[in-house]
Amino acid sequence: MRNMINEMLNKKKWAVVGATKNETKFGYQIFMMLKDYGYEVYPVNPMYDEIEGEKCYPSVKDLPVIVDCVDIVIPPDKSILTIDDVKASGIENIWFQLNTFNDEVIKKSNDSKLNTVYHHCIMVELRNR
């Protein structure tokens, strides 16, 4: 999995599903950290029109570009539904933050032939680069 993590971190276009305006939540912190590290980042959350001046999209299907990677920051019952949108959008890489997946989610992601990272926090991985 280490190689997959490094490959994903080298890609520059990301979407954060579960991005939020709440600064205490990981959805905000991950979104901002990716931006701070120079990534092109698209927030995805149907509850917002914008986050920190960036247009926010209701779903992965609504993104204006095909991103390289999708970071998931929503509960497993919602993240499992996002896998179909990721695959249908032609995106190959998905990263599940802690507490966003279960065995069923990982199985579906792997069965969908997505490059799948889990049990690793993107914030920790970015800081350790």
Q: What is the pTM of this model?
A: 0.97
For 68-106, the pLDDT digits (tens) are 999 999 999 999 999 999 999 999 999 999 999 999 999
Q: To which H or E segment does residue 82 belong?
A: helix 76-88
Cβ burial of 38 (10 Å; 0-12, 13-18, 19+) is: exposed
- CATH number of the domain encompassing residue 9: 3.40.50.720
Quick check: 129 pLDDT over 90? no
Q: How many domains does the chain have?
A: 1
| Structural domain of 30 | 2-127
